[in-house]
Each structure stands twice: as structure tokens, then as C-alpha cells.
Amino acid sequence: MGYQSNLKQSTHSDNAKILLTYVAKHKTKFFLLLAIILSLNTHWMVLREWHMPTYGNTMIHIASARHVVEHGEYPLIDYSYGGGIANLYVPHYRMLVATTSILTGFSLDFTSRMLVLLFAILLPLGFFLLTRRLFDENTAVFAALFSILPGEMLIYTVRPLPQALGLILLPIAFHAFLGRKQFLMFFLAFIITFTHQEAVAYLFGAVGVFLAFTVLHILWRLFVSKQFNHQIHSDLVRKSLFLLVLCISVYLLWQFIMIGHINVFELAQFKNHEGNTVSLDSYLLKTGNLVVSFSLLGLLISLSFLLRNLLSDVNNISAEMKGGIFVFFTFFASALSSFFILNGFSLSRNASFVSISFPIFLGPLEGTEIIFISIVVALFFVFVIKALFEKSKSFMKSDKIAHLFLLALFFAGFFAVKNDAVGIRVFMDRFLVYLQQPLIIFASLGANGIVEFVNSLRK
């Protein structure tokens, strides 16, 4: 009996070693598959419900899809609010549901549920592709895992809505934008334009901000570093301009056909200022403390990378002065960020402490304790940045363009969320989920930065 027991334990041990060896060899595929499984698990509720989640106008889209199935044409009159108004909603998602139902013979209800599960699969895959294009494979794996964490992302992708399809297509479109397959990029931009107005607004804003950053980068290269790369920069400007013209012209043509004018500010949503403001508490609740904390680290890494490279272009400053400026920035920014997190995500000395799940529950802290911990964390961050730039051979290989593009996504999302600050006041809360896209990538950048730092210590 003892011999047989030892033999079984040995067999189990060998099997475990084989499994661990296989996982280590194919870790990217393993964690990507894990992210997909976890995403399917969170979206599986769409099948458990007696009826698919109906809040958020889901059945309005089904009404238009049913009209296509029964009449063979897209309805020009909307079914919303009792009908009788022009159907301004862009048609791609509704046509997708109707066409899939016709081709498969499935009911519109079942078709909508299956599309949600398809979205669940594509969600981590899209973030993986975009982040790998921007940075590297390890960071991309973190992005795939982080993509399933924000509650707002789940709320918008678990329901059969055009917003869900738009959120799935955006990372893939950005991936195509940064690549060489221009036809795919323009095709996806066209599809997104006809998928959802908020999605194309974010796409337009992100590319617009990136174009502005690219122009500033060109001016910096021309007048400061004298290292202007005509081929790279002209290609980026050309693609950005063409994409902006495509999106705005296609959408405005649709709006003109449906309601007879192209003034978006005359739409009821703008006139009535639909949407709610996004408070800090709402932002934290809907994004999650884990993603918020890691994304702050990633944002600091990205800004530090850009600052380091910009300083390297300046010739009339000594190397010691450049190093001092860089260290001061990283220390100050990381100390401020640490204080913000530990102080209940507030910069006020009198803020009440809010329990955070990352890195650990620290209990109620006094202001002096928070300042001390923030200084320690800032010193740690300076060493992390130093290790990333000096010892790592796999991190930060990308050009400045990658960081500029990620910052463009962030500022476009931030402006959309806070458009009430400039008097627009429309759909601020709905745009939060689009801001979460760059935050997820920033979080993956921060998480991988910690991993690289630990690896550098081991070496």
C-alpha cells in the first residue's frame, strides 16, 4: 500500500511538473485563454437571465432589427418614445443582429445573447492586440486580464447594445491605425461610425488629439532635436487627417439624410444636456481601485519615458542637470500620486480615509503617516524607473509615438468625461467607459513595470 501510494504521489508530481513546464513555455497563450474564460464567466449572466438584460434601451434596437427581418428594409422612423421621429441612430449593430438572425434562423433574442458572448471573447483579445502593438507581449497579457475588471466595462458589454460592439471594435481599430494595413483601418473606422455615435466621437477625439501631439512632436524634432523623420511623421499625419475626414463626413452625411441638417448641437441630446457629471467617487466605483492604482503607476512611467527622451534631445543642458530634472519629476509625481491614493483618492489633508483593495488594507492613517509613506513609495518609484531604463532589455523598446498615442487616448477620454467643464454637458457618464480603455493599458504598463523591476533585482 505504501509503495502504491508513493507511486501515485510521484505520478501526480510528474504530471504537475509537465503541466507547469507547458504553462511556462506557453504562458502568453495560457494567460490570454484565462482572460477569455474569465470574461466569458462575467458575461455568462446574459444566458442565465429569463430574458436578456433589457435596461439601457436594448429592446429599442431589437425593434429596429425585427423591422428589418419582417420588412426587408431599415426603418427610417424610430420606434423610441412612441415613434414618429426620424431614426437617427446609426444602423450597423441593428443590421448585424437582423442579418445574423436571418442567416442562422435563430430568434432575435438568442442572436443578441450569442453576440454578447462573442463580445466577451473579443474584449480581452482586442486589448491584447493593441497593447502588444504599443509595447510588448507581457504588457499585453496584463491588459487582457485588466480588461475584465472595470465594472463599467462589464455593464456596457454584457448588454446587447451598439455601445458594446463599438467598445470591442475600438482597440482593434487603434491596432490597425498603428499598423500598415490602412484598408483595414479605414474599414473599421467606417464600421464604427455606423455602429454608435459615442464610439465614433471617441475615435474622432482620440485621433484628433494624437494628430495634435504628432504636430507638436514634429515641431520639437524640427527646432530642438533636429532629428525629423519625414517618412514616419508624414505617414501619421496623413493617416490621421484621412481618418478624421472619413469619420466626420460619413456621419454628417447620415445625419443630413435622416434629419436634414448637419448641426450636431441642434440635436435633442445637446439641447437638453443629457447625461450626468462624473464625480471622483463615481469614477473610482466604476473603474475599480486596482485599475486606478496601477494606471497611475503606468501613467507616471509613460510620462517619465517621454520626459527622459525629450531631455535627451536638448543639447544646451548638462547630463547632470538632465538627470536631476528627471529624478525630481519622477519623485514629485509619484509622491503626489501615492498621497492621492492613500488619502482616500483626495489631495485634501482633511479627507476621510477610504478603504482600498490595493496594495493592502492599511487602516485609518493620519496625515503625517500618509506623507511619510508617500515619500517612501516615491523613492521606490525612482528606483523602479532607474531599473526599467538601465537594466531591462525587454521593456520600453517602443518609440515615443506609442506613448504619445496612449496619452492621446487618455486625454480624449478625459475631455469627453469632463466636457461639462467647457459647457457641452452631454453624456459625461457614458464616456467614462471609453476613458477606461487607456486606463486599462496604463494599468498593464504599471503592472509589467513592477514585474520588470523585480526581474532586474533578481539579475
Q: What are phi and psi of 100, to 5 degrees?
A: -60, -40
Beta partners for residue 86, in sequence order: 77
Of 7-11, 39-43, 242-246, 338-342, the poorest mean pLDDT is in: 7-11
Average pLDDT over residues 138-155: 94
Which pLDDT score is estimated for 362? 47
Which contiguous run of DSSP H or E holds residue 454? helix 432-458
- Given a cut of 50, whether residue 207 has pLDDT beyond it is yes
- Given a cut of 90, whether residue 350 has pLDDT beyond it is no
Q: How far is CA 180 from CA 183, 185, 440, in A?
A: 9, 9, 24
Cα gap 375→420, rounded to integer Å: 35
Q: Is 341 exposed, middle or buried (0-12, 13-18, 19+ CB in 10 A)?
A: buried
Instruction: Place 320 in a pLDDT band, splitting at 50, 70 and 90.
Output: low
- Given a cut of 50, whether residue 358 has pLDDT beyond it is no
Identify which has the larger pLDDT, 400 or 283.
283
In tens, the pLDDT along 385-415 reads: 665 655 443 333 446 788 999 999 999 999 9
Average pLDDT over residues 223-246: 80
- Given a cut of 70, whether residue 268 has pLDDT beyond it is yes
Which contiguous run of DSSP H or E holds residue 241? helix 230-259
Residue 366 CB contacts under 8 Å (≥ 6 apart), including other chains: none
In tens, the pLDDT along 420-429 reads: 888 899 999 9
Average pLDDT over residues 51-76: 84
Average pLDDT over residues 276-286: 86
In tens, the pLDDT along 418-459 reads: 998 888 999 999 999 999 999 999 999 999 988 887 777 776
Identify which has the larger pLDDT, 221 or 106.
106
CA-nearest of 93, 47, 102 to 72 is: 102
Instruction: Place 233 in a pLDDT band, splitting at 50, 70 and 90.
Output: confident
Which pLDDT score is estimated for 397? 41
Which pLDDT score is estimated for 229? 64
Helical H segments across 135-161, by residue range: 137-146, 151-157
Q: Where are the domains of the chain?
A: 2-266, 286-458
Instruction: Place 384 in a pLDDT band, splitting at 50, 70 and 90.
Output: low
- Give the mean pLDDT of the chain: 82
Which pLDDT score is estimated for 307? 81
Start-to-end CA span in the chain (Å): 46
Average pLDDT over residues 63-81: 89
Identify which has the larger pLDDT, 223 or 15.
223
Of 61-65, 117-121, 225-229, 241-245, the poorest mean pLDDT is in: 225-229
Which pLDDT score is estimated for 228? 61
Q: What is the pTM of this model?
A: 0.85
